[in-house]
Structure 1
Amino acid sequence: MDTSVITAHALRRTYGSGSDSFEAVRGIDLQVRRGELFALLGTNGAGKTSTLEVLEGLAPASAGRVRVLGHDPYRERHAVRPRTGTMLQDAGFPPELTAAETARLWHGTLSRPVPVDQALAAVGLEHRAGVHVAALSGGEQRRLDLALAIMGRPEVLFLDEPTTGLDPQSRRATWDLVAGLLHEGVTVLLTTHYLEEAETLADRLAIMHAGRVARAGTVAEIVATETARITFADDADVPALELTALPALAAAPARERGRWTLTATDLQVTLTALLTAAGDAGVQLTGLEARSASLEQAFLAVAADDDAPTAHGSRRTAPVAA
């Protein structure tokens, strides 16, 4: 049984035409299952915003096939829009309205909204309901944007950089809110620059680079493509160790700036062998550090691949009622 809520096959998005055209999204495939959180990460100008705009129905695909809840989100927007919630990077709220007035304005455009007070309370803004948007902090405006995105009881929620500008406490509260929505069966597509956010929330993710999906899978699957690292000071006794003979090394030991670096495909195996060898030889490993592979490491590895030209990103704005 196909449980996909969002699908994209050979999706392309091109800006301009003829010799002035630029292809920001270059034939990507995505699949988001019902009730999961899928994180779309990307290097600067990777094309993730251009991709998200197509999936949200804000722009048509230049080529390929896109479906959200079984419909083309752009050509059949009337069938998709009432069932989705969208949080853009900048919602463009009228500054002269209060938070409550903005929420009530949006409330009137929805078919089955939650009460305004309930939506504001969900994001911790009930005490700021009477404050004009212009007087809200950047983080508070982001929380107001989130309140409007969830007000329509969406089946699918698009979150574009939802915690940018939030303090750590507000960011954690947003994570808890999103986790609650997932528990209720909401499907979430998230873009974020915070890798910890993706690691904490995402069931699966994709890393985009130069308009293509460079890596995709669960966090564990993506991290498994990277190597662990062991470093320690280049002291006088270290050469007595036969570092090149250690098991599970991914590359030859490297010595630079007064430190040795070992890369390992199996951190436990290599580290155990290193400590055993050091103990047998009476060598003290000064400044020893061992680090498992991480999502950050995988992301940086993708970012370091600059063989292809980068795509031009865009910052999006939208009126209060889309």
Structure 2
Amino acid sequence: MYITITPQKLGGSYSQSVGDYVGYLEKENQGLEQEEMEHFFNQYGDKINAKEVVREIDGNGGKLKKTEPKFYSITVSPSKYELKQLQNNSKDLKVYTRELMKDYVQSFNREINGKPITIDNIKYFAKIEHQRTFKGTDIQVKENQPYATKILQLKQDIRKIENGELKGNIKNLNQKISRLEKEAPHQQNGKRIVQGMQKEGNQSHIHIIVSRKDASNSVSLSPGSKYKASDVIMNGKNVKRGFDRDRFFTNAEKTFDKQFGYKRNYAESYKAKKDFIKNPKLYFSVLMGLPANEKAAAFKILGKSGVPMMNIPTSKVQLAIRAIKRLKKGVDIAIKSSSIGI
């Protein structure tokens, strides 16, 4: 499971409206029949029109400054292992989203009119998508870039030769291009992975637009708060504040596992990512201490995430330092490329 929470982009060429983002999320519906389209939905409604989403979100930013985000985008990307557990991606992810947003509101340490926040206190709209394309920030595109640069230069040289600006053998240059295409480290269906290429396999994921202001348009609820859930004394009164992301990510995982009966391996858990970042020694200790079948599954998951595998001792004898360093580097790359973890 990979979850991101991103504030509305503001300033420069970015619009104050959610309209551009809603339009972006409608791209998969282009050219589809009505029954094939994925529509926006919320806690109680289905097939919500895009115009209504824009109207509701744009109209719910009372008293917010132009420099303050009026909405947040939550993207939820289940792994291919999690997606295999679903019977119907669209229906199951819609049900999961509605449970996930209950976890979301429970992660706020806030009250409205003296009562804890409930799902009815927020305004959100979500949409299921089934396609993904490689971005310039993806590790596959980044590591292929040196080859892309060389190929571009060779193609420019070919054009110069054709225009009489440069002398050279076009056939030899084309052969070099073909060799570079094959040597690029990241391939998909025999082709070099480039930015904009559609990713193969099951890519179903969830986009959620949630208003910064509560449903009454009077209280600001920011999941981007710099404060973790805490209580403070302000003007002599005890005030609750903050959003506990750790709680949200943990519960999001638990909700998925409970709802779909998913047996989560340590290697793909939120706890594993935290252990790896905060205490790598503990991470590898737990990994190597897993029962044999779970350990085998863990290394399979890591391997599929782009972690370079090597011959690693399976006994309780301490791992070789060189092996640990190599594996750590691979896990770090996989986490940064959004392959594993939340």
Q: Which has the higher helix share?
A: 2
TM-score category (smaller protein): under 0.3
TM normalised by structure 2 equals 0.25
Q: TM-score, with normalisation over the residues of structure 1?
A: 0.26
